[in-house]
Chains A and B, each alone.
Chain A
Amino acid sequence: MSAFSLERVSPRRRRADRLARGAVAALTLVALVPLALVVWYLLEQGLGALSVDFFTTDPSGSFLGDPGGIKSAIVGTVLMVALAAAIAVPVGVGVAIWLVELGRAGKLAQAVRYFVDVMTGVPSIVFGLFVYITLVTTGFGGSSFAGWKGSVALALLMLPVVTRSAEVVLLLVPDTLREASYALGAPRWRTIVRVVLPAALPGIVTGVLLAIARAAGETAPLLFTAAVVNATTVDLGDRMNSLPALIFQNVAQPQDRLVAIAWGAALTLVAMILILTLLARLIQRRSRLS
C-alpha cells in the first residue's frame, strides 16, 4: 500500500454526469423525431404518385379527370434556379473577393458586410414583392409574369448566402500563399485568379450549391413573379411553372389525386435538393482548406 492516494469520483458527480448525458441525448432525440416523420410521410405519401408518366407529362389542369404529371414544374424549377445562380454567383463571389482582398477592414467594406447580413434576414416573400412591384406590375420587358423575373427574385435571395459563404472561405486561404505570390512578382489580380480562387474553389462551390438548394425550395418569391402554369416552356420570358408553386397550389385542392401530385412533387424536390447537398459534401471533402 503506497502512502499516495487519489480521490475517488464522488457519487454526486457521477449522478450529475449521468443526468446531463441523459438530458442531452433526450433533446437530440426530440429534434430527430419531426425530421424522421417528415421523411417518413414524404416517402409514404409521395412514392405512390411516382411513375414514368409523372415525370414526363404536364399537369392537365383537369379537376376531375387525370391530373397529369409535373414535367413543367421540374423544367421550370431547373431553368429558373439555373438563371438565378448565373446572376447571383458571379456577383456574390465578386463581392466576396472585393471584401476580402481589397475592401478588408475599411468603412465601406464594413457597411457592405452589414447590408449583406441584413439581406440574409429579409424574408423571401419580400424579395418576391419587390420584384412584383418593380418588374411585374410595370410590365418590364413586355410581359407581366415571367420566368426570368422569378429568377431575379431567387437571385436576390441567393446573393447574401453566396457572398457570405465565399467570404468565409476566402478568409480561410492563408496569407502566406498571397505573400508567396506577391514575392514572385505576381500582380494582385493574377494572385487572386491563379492562387487564391483555386485554393478556395471547393469551399465556394459548396456555398453556391447550398444557396441553390435553398432557392430551389422557395415558393413565395415565385408565386407573384413567375406565376403558376400547366404547360412546359423553356422560354424564360414566359410564365413558368415551378415545383414549390405547384405543391402550394395542388395541396390545397379538395381533390385527393391533386394532393397526391403535390406529395409526389414534394418528394421529387427533396430528392433533387438532397442530391445537391450530397454533391456539396463531396466537394467539401476534397477541399484542402478548413
Chain B
Amino acid sequence: MSDDVTNPAPTALDPARPLPAPPLPAVADRQAAAPGAAPGAPAAEPRDAVGRTAPAIRLERLNAWYGAMHSVRDLSLTFAANEATALIGPSGSGKSTVVRCINRMHEEIPGARASGSVTLEGADVYDPGVDVVAVRRSIGMVFQKPNPFPTMSIFDNVAAGLKLTARKVEHDQVERALRGAGLWDEVKDRLAQPGIGLSGGQQQRLCIARALAVEPDVLLMDEPASALDPISTLKIEQLVEELKRSITIVIVTHNMQQAARVADSTAFMLDGELVEHGPTAKVFTNPDDSRTEEYVTGKFG
C-alpha cells in the first residue's frame, strides 16, 4: 500500500475554511497510537474545535412504515451539532430507516411512508414547500456498499453531485472533496480512470468524497465500513473524526467497538424504538436500561 497507516497525513475537509490555530493534536495520531484501547472508554480526550457550525438534527415522534410494517415507532431524538452520533441495535431495529427518513430517501421506496417531524436547526425537512433536492444537498449520505458510478471516472464521480444538480464544477472543489475524504494522494495521478477500478476501501472513500463535494451540513453514514477490511475501516473512522469539525454526522453501525471509537454519543434502538441515548461512554459502561447493557455486552443481537 502506498500510504502509511500508522502515521497518515492529517487531512482537513476544507483548507479555505478557518481551522483552529494552532492545529489541534492530530486526531489520526491519537487513533493510531491506541489501536488496542479498550472499547467503552474512548471519549476522554478533549473534543476537537469546531471549524464550522453545523446544524443539529431533531427528530420528533418519528414513525415510519414499509407497507403495513411499522418499522420506526414514535422516535424522538436529537443528533447534536458537530458531533458524531452512533445508531446501534440489532438487524431490523430500524436504524437505517431512521437515517433514510432524515434525508427523505425513505420515500423513494414504493409503499414506504413516514410521519412526525425532522428539523435541522428549526428548518422542517418535510415541509411541503421544501424542495427535496435541497434537503439532500445539505444532508449527504454514504451507503453500506460502496456505490461509485460505474461509467464515470474518479474525477467525474466526485463531480457527479454538482453535475447532477446542474452546478458548475471547479477542479478545486473535486480536489478539496478528495482531500477531505483522505483519498487525494492515492488518486491524484489517475483522476481520469474509472472509479470502480479502485479497491473497496478506496471506493468507499470516493463515495464519501462524492458526498462531501456538494458541501453538506450533515453526513449520514449507513454502516459505511461493514464491507471493508480493518485498515480501510480505520481510515473511515479517522475521517469521521476530521469531518465532524465542520459537519454533523450520524453513523449507523453493527460494530460496537466502532461506535465506541468514533461516536460522541450513542443511541440504542430495538424493534423500531429508541431504548437509550446518551454519551457513548455512559451507554457502553453504565447504561440506564438493562436491554442496552445486554446488547452492548453481547448477550444478544
Q: Are A183 and B136 in contact (CB under 8 A)?
A: yes
A-to-B contact residues, CB < 8 Å: 104-105, 174, 176-187, 190-191, 194-195, 198-199, 201, 288-289
Contact A184-B108, Cβ < 8 Å, known A176-B143, A177-B150, A198-B151: no
Q: Are B145 and A176 in contact (CB under 8 A)?
A: yes
Partner of A186, one of B103, B140, B165: B165
Q: Are B103 and A184 in contact (CB under 8 A)?
A: no
Q: Are A288 and B151 in contact (CB under 8 A)?
A: yes
11 pairs, A vs B, C-beta closer than 8 Å: A177-B150, A180-B210, A181-B149, A184-B140, A184-B160, A184-B214, A195-B149, A195-B151, A198-B151, A199-B149, A288-B196
Contact A183-B145, Cβ < 8 Å, known A191-B164, A288-B196: no
- Determine the residue in chain B with the shortest Cβ distance to A180: B147
Contact A105-B196, Cβ < 8 Å, known A180-B149, A184-B160, A185-B164: no
CA distance A198 to B152 in the complex (A): 9
Q: Which residues of A have CB within 8 Å of B150?
A: 177, 199, 288-289
Q: Are A185 and B143 in contact (CB under 8 A)?
A: no
Q: Please give me the 5 A-B residue pairs with the lowest Cβ-Cβ distance, nearest first.
A: A186-B164, A185-B136, A184-B161, A183-B141, A185-B137
- Determine the residue in chain A with the shortest Cβ distance to B167: A185
| CB of B259 within 8 Å of the partner chain | no
CA distance A198 to B166 in the complex (A): 17
CA distance A177 to B135 in the complex (A): 19
- Determine the residue in chain B with the shortest Cβ distance to A194: B164
Q: Are B147 and A104 in contact (CB under 8 A)?
A: no
- Determine the residue in chain B with the shortest Cβ distance to A184: B161
Q: Are B110 and A185 in contact (CB under 8 A)?
A: no
Q: Are B211 and A184 in contact (CB under 8 A)?
A: yes
Q: Are A184 and B165 in contact (CB under 8 A)?
A: yes
Q: Are A179 and B143 in contact (CB under 8 A)?
A: yes
Min CB distance, B232 to chain A, in Å?
Answer: 18
Partner of B147, one of A105, A176, A185, A191: A176
Min CB distance, B74 to chain A, in Å?
Answer: 26
Q: Are B164 and A181 in contact (CB under 8 A)?
A: yes
Interfacial residues of chain B within 127-178, with CB under 8 A of chain A in the complex: 133-137, 140-141, 143, 145, 147-152, 160-161, 163-166
Q: Which residues of B have CB within 8 Å of A201?
A: 151
CA distance A157 to B158 in the complex (A): 42
Q: Are B164 and A179 in contact (CB under 8 A)?
A: no
Contact A190-B103, Cβ < 8 Å, known A184-B214, A185-B214, A195-B149: no
Min CB distance, B161 to chain A, in Å?
Answer: 4
CA distance A104 to B109 in the complex (A): 12
- Determine the residue in chain A with the shortest Cβ distance to B162: A184
- The size class of the interface chain B forms with chain A is 20 to 34
Min CB distance, B289 to chain A, in Å?
Answer: 32
* Residue from the set A105, A176, A185, A198 with the largest chain B CB neighbour count within 10 Å: A185
| CB of B260 within 8 Å of the partner chain | no
| CB of B105 within 8 Å of the partner chain | yes
Partner of A179, one of B108, B134, B214: B108
CA distance A74 to B286 in the complex (A): 84
Min CB distance, A185 to chain B, in Å?
Answer: 4
CA distance A187 to B134 in the complex (A): 10
* Residue from the set A105, A174, A179, A183 with the largest chain B CB neighbour count within 10 Å: A183
Contact A194-B163, Cβ < 8 Å, known A176-B147, A199-B149: yes
Q: Which residues of B have CB within 8 Å of A104?
A: 110
Min CB distance, A40 to chain B, in Å?
Answer: 43
Q: Which residues of B have CB within 8 Å of A194?
A: 160, 163-164
CA distance A105 to B150 in the complex (A): 26
CA distance A181 to B210 in the complex (A): 10
| CB of B207 within 8 Å of the partner chain | yes
Q: Which residues of A have CB within 8 Å of B133?
A: 185-187
- Determine the residue in chain A with the shortest Cβ distance to B132: A185
A182-B136, A184-B161 known, 19 other contacts, Cβ within 8 Å: A104-B110, A177-B149, A178-B108, A180-B143, A183-B136, A183-B141, A183-B143, A184-B136, A184-B140, A184-B214, A185-B133, A185-B135, A185-B164, A185-B165, A190-B165, A194-B164, A195-B149, A199-B150, A289-B150
Q: Which residues of A have CB within 8 Å of B103?
A: 183
Min CB distance, A104 to chain B, in Å?
Answer: 7
Q: Which residues of A have CB within 8 Å of B108?
A: 178-179, 182
CA distance A186 to B152 in the complex (A): 16
CA distance A187 to B137 in the complex (A): 11
Min CB distance, B141 to chain A, in Å?
Answer: 4
Contact A105-B211, Cβ < 8 Å, known A184-B164, A184-B165: no
Min CB distance, A179 to chain B, in Å?
Answer: 7
Contact A185-B149, Cβ < 8 Å, known A176-B143, A179-B108, A179-B143: no
Q: Which residues of B have CB within 8 Å of A288?
A: 150-151, 196
- Determine the residue in chain A with the shortest Cβ distance to B148: A180
CA distance A247 to B137 in the complex (A): 61
CA distance A288 to B161 in the complex (A): 22
Min CB distance, A25 to chain B, in Å?
Answer: 39
Contact A185-B105, Cβ < 8 Å, known A104-B110, A177-B149: no
Contact A185-B134, Cβ < 8 Å, known A180-B207, A191-B164: yes
CA distance A104 to B160 in the complex (A): 26
Min CB distance, A188 to chain B, in Å?
Answer: 9
- Determine the residue in chain A with the shortest Cβ distance to B133: A185
- Determine the residue in chain B with the shortest Cβ distance to A174: B147
CA distance A289 to B294 in the complex (A): 44
